[in-house]
Amino acid sequence: MLAFKITNGILYMIAIDKQPFSMVKDDGFRKFLSIVAPLYTVPCRKTITKRLDEKYELLSSKIRTMLSKIDHLCLTTDIWTEPFNTRSYISITVHYINFKIMQLENLSLGIKELEESHDGNYISKIISEILDEWHIQINSVVAVITDNASNIKKAVRDTFGRKRHIPCFAHTLNLVIQDAIATTPEFQAIVKKVKSIVTYFKRSVKATNALNELQTSNLENDQNILKLKQGCETHWNSLFYMIKRFIQLANLVNTVLLTLPRKKHDDIPEMTTHTDLQILKDICAILRPVERVIMEISGELYVTCSKIIPIINCLIRTLEKLDITHEISERFHKNVLLQLQNRFRGKDSNIETNSFLSISTLLDPRFKKLHFSSSLAVSTAISKISQLMKNNQIETQCNVEENINILRKEDLWNIHDELIASSSLNSDEPGGIPVELRQFLNANVVSRSEDPFKIWQKLKDVYPMVYEVAMKYFVIVGTSVPSERLFSAAGIIISMKRSRIKGKRASQIIFLGSLPKRYWK
């Protein structure tokens, strides 16, 4: 039993910690095991690979069976090209509700190598193959979240239908900032100046040492030496982190640039001015709430889809209240607000008209109608919920009637049963809204800190039909960040030291590493 537990622990380290298979040959690892388990024989690399294959076959079989029985799933997908052999992979993560603990769970279905041109038709074919492999029914997929790339959007729409595709909220919000910067050239010039300074310090040992020495002389005992951060267009929030850190170190950075000896061929960058710093502080104040929104909406283990409409409303109102001091930062401020309006409240891009977002928001006990600006969007969403409830009622009633017909005998109470069935399908108040839905919407909202799953656990007996619809939509995640996190893990596995690892093997490790811990017991 002890040997089994230790071997399972080694497999766990390979899957969760992304340790290489060669760890079983490392002297330090063998020395450690000889101390804690002197009677245990460390398996060779070939044996541990075989054990991983067995573990994968066992657990993937369990997951296939589980996925085939789940009624409502949400998927995210993305494409990544690893840098060592320039091989491209597609990933799929699956999200579902664990009703035993009333919590969102997710796992990765691994990665699959793309061997042809990445056009929409080929990607659609690969996605369908992955679904078949994992026994996922297309009808059970409520929504698929991707970035804004045209090929992957086409693939998802061809596979699942146009109505089930949702663009990644974090990608869209990132585009808001990029477009606002592009339309504010004066701010671009300041960002370029900051980037050149950061690049210089990253390359110059002399400048970095001088900055560290200045910090050491000014720091308290419990403080750490800070380093400048470089911004990257493809990394969300990195511009905010670069500006925030630069503001912290700006005075020291300028001191270093002033005191460095200048030679003929030196490329010492231009210093920032007091006005530049004031603008950067304004920009930091604008980007801070955007960073908080992206961080909050990128979660995987709590409901995010129902937060998008409320959080955009809060973001716009927060930005509108900012007191901006400089003309350049004021222009950037206006451009950010304009882009937010265009991308989230525009005629063809109003998030309140997206049925996934509006329905999930209305059915979240924390929000309901509170953050909607359009009464038409609310009434449209309520109508769709009402129809979904009626469809569920009809389906349930058909099942009941089938059971009654099997056992039906001539009975006086048959008329009573038929009246109940008829009334349950026609329990609408004036306006076509079911009584149950109207009562739920008219009840007070709960605290924002409450878990909507736990609230619905208490309410499901009071509003059973509304509960069924809510659970279908709460499974939707707001971003495709889970797929990007998957590729971060893939980048650790397919590394310079393991550049020859096959995609199939990397996929196994990614899948096992994504499983909830209970599968490893």
Residue-wise pLDDT for 74-116, tens only, equals: 999 999 988 888 889 999 999 999 999 999 999 999 999 999 9
Residue 412 lies in a domain: no
Domain residues for the domain of 336 are 174-345
Tell me the C-alpha distance between 199 and 196, whole Å. Answer: 5
Picking from 312, 330, 345, the residue at the C-terminal end of a domain is 345
Tell me the C-alpha distance between 248 and 241, whole Å. Answer: 11
* Cα–Cα separations (whole angstroms), residue 380 to 246, 353, 354, 465: 47, 8, 10, 18
Report whether 344 contacts 351 (CB < 8 A): yes
- Per-residue pLDDT for 400 more than 50? no
* 91 and 238 assigned to the same domain: no
pLDDT for 431:
58
DSSP 347-414: TTT-GGG-HHHHHHHHTSTTTTTTT-S-HHHHHHHHHHHHHHHHHHHHHHHHHHHHHHHHH----TTH
Picking from 327, 345, 363, the residue at the C-terminal end of a domain is 345
* 267 and 402 assigned to the same domain: no
* 273 and 338 assigned to the same domain: yes
Residue 92, classed as helix, strand or coil, is strand
Instruction: Quick: pLDDT tens for 304-341.
Output: 999 999 999 999 999 999 999 899 999 999 999 999 99
What's the structural domain count of the chain?
4
* 384 and 242 assigned to the same domain: no
* Cα–Cα separations (whole angstroms), residue 295 to 158, 291, 324: 31, 6, 24
Give the lowest-confidence range in 163-177, 386-400, 447-461: 386-400
The residues facing 77 across adjacent strands are 92
* 67 and 81 assigned to the same domain: yes
Residue 428 lies in a domain: no
Spacing of C-alpha 285 from chain mean position: 24
* Cα–Cα separations (whole angstroms), residue 289 to 66, 184, 337, 344: 39, 19, 13, 16
Phi then psi for residue 436, to 5 deg, are -60, -45
Single pTM value for the model: 0.88
CA atoms within 13 A on the CB side of 212: 11
The residues facing 75 across adjacent strands are 94, 144
Other beta carbons less than 10 A from residue 416's beta carbon: 10
Residue 449 lies in a domain: yes
Q: Sheet holding 87-98: strands in order across?
A: 103-114, 87-98, 73-82, 141-146, 165-167
* 396 and 452 assigned to the same domain: yes
Tell me the C-alpha distance between 71 and 468, whole Å. Answer: 11
Residue 64 lies in a domain: yes
- Per-residue pLDDT for 430 more than 90? no
* 307 and 397 assigned to the same domain: no
Residue 416 lies in a domain: no
Q: Give the tokens for residue 235.
A: 């990394």
pLDDT for 221:
55
Report whether 127 contacts 90 (CB < 8 A): yes
Residue 422 lies in a domain: no
pLDDT for 395:
56
User: Going by C-beta distance under 8 Å and a sequence separation of 6 or more, which residues neighbour residue 162?
Assistant: none
Residue 504 lies in a domain: yes
* Cα–Cα separations (whole angstroms), residue 313 to 179, 284, 371, 407: 20, 20, 6, 55
pLDDT band for 388, please (50, 70, 90 cuts).
very high
* 199 and 337 assigned to the same domain: yes
CATH code for the domain of 161: 3.30.420.40
* 306 and 438 assigned to the same domain: no
Among residues of the chain, what percentage have pLDDT more than 90? 72
* 41 and 141 assigned to the same domain: no
* 200 and 333 assigned to the same domain: yes
Spacing of C-alpha 177 from chain mean position: 19
Residue 99 lies in a domain: yes
* 204 and 335 assigned to the same domain: yes
